Amino acid sequence: MENIEIEIKFPLENAEELIKELRKISEPKEEYQKDTYFIPSHRDFLKQNPISEWLRIRETKKGVSLNYKNWHNKKDSQVSSCDEFETNFEDINALKRILESLNFKEIIVVEKERKNWNHNNTIISIDKVTGLGDFIEIEADGEFESIEKAKEHLHNMLNDLNAKIGKQDFKGYPHLVLEKKGYFEQ
């Protein structure tokens, strides 16, 4: 399932407790991520209901990447898989100038502190998202028979972790930040 991302994400109520437990498995890879989201002038991603596409520039200490996600089942807002394409760039300013020249508009910035663990064919991420709080994201990181089998594995992993979670997030951080800022209010 090359270029397909399968993940589940939930608000997390016991982040510190869970981090202590996960540190018993291994030390996490920690990083700060600054994600800047863009929309093209010819297709406003924010007008889609549900939003099914995102284009983002991610800045970390390791470098800069451009990422495009196109979520599956556009009519169903409860999806956890998407086509994903990503590539690295050396010069963020040149990349931003290219997007601006092609009439892409910056819409939102999402900043987070992320702790990652690779465990049992998953990537477990604990995110502290500026303005939103703590989340757990579990992503398939291995070969699975199907998207459904991968999702089943992710939910089993979540249950094994004893995470205290809220309702599953199908919208994503950029949507949640825009929502919090009142963007979608009529």
Asked if residue 185 is part of any domain, the answer here is: no
CA distance 146 to 149: 5
Q: How do residues 14-38 score in pLDDT, each as one tens digit?
A: 999 999 999 999 999 999 999 999 9
How much of the chain exceeds pLDDT 70, in percent? 96
Helix (H, G, I), strand (E, B) or coil at 171: coil
Q: Give the up-direction half-sphere exposure of residue 89: CA atoms within 13 A in the CB hemisphere.
A: 18
Domain with residue 121: its CATH number is 2.40.320.10
Separation of alpha carbons 34 and 110, rounded Å: 6
Contacts of 103 (CB under 8 A, 6+ apart): 40, 41, 42
110 beta partners: 35
Is residue 103 assigned to a domain?
Answer: yes
Q: What is the pLDDT of residues 111-167, one digit of tens each?
A: 999 999 999 999 999 999 999 999 999 999 988 999 899 999 999 999 999 999 999
Task: Indicate the pTM of the whole model.
Answer: 0.90
DSSP state of 136: E
How many Å apart are CA 107 and CA 173, to the nearest integer? Answer: 13
Does residue 126 belong to any structural domain of this protein? yes
- pLDDT in the model for residue 133: 97
Is 21 a member of any domain? yes
Q: Is the peptide bond before 50 cis (omega within 30 degrees of 0)?
A: yes
Beta-carbon neighbour count of residue 61 at 10 Å?
A: 7
Nearest to 169 by CA among 130, 131, 138, 124: 138
Q: Report if residue 169 sits inside a domain.
A: yes
| Domain assignment present for 175 | yes
Residue 106 has pLDDT above 80, yes or no: yes
In this model, does residue 63 exceed pLDDT 60? yes
Q: Which residues are CB-neighbours of 59 under 8 A, at least 6 positions away? A: 33, 34, 35, 36, 92
Per DSSP, the three-state class of 14 is coil
Q: Which amino acid belongs to residue 173?
A: Y
Number of domains in the chain: 1
Q: Residue written as tokens 């394409």? A: 85
Written as six digits, the tokens of 132 are 């939103």
Q: Is residue 186 assigned to a domain?
A: no
Which residues form the domain of 12?
A: 4-180
| Residue 16 φ/ψ, nearest 5 degrees | -65, -40
Q: Is residue 76 part of a domain?
A: yes
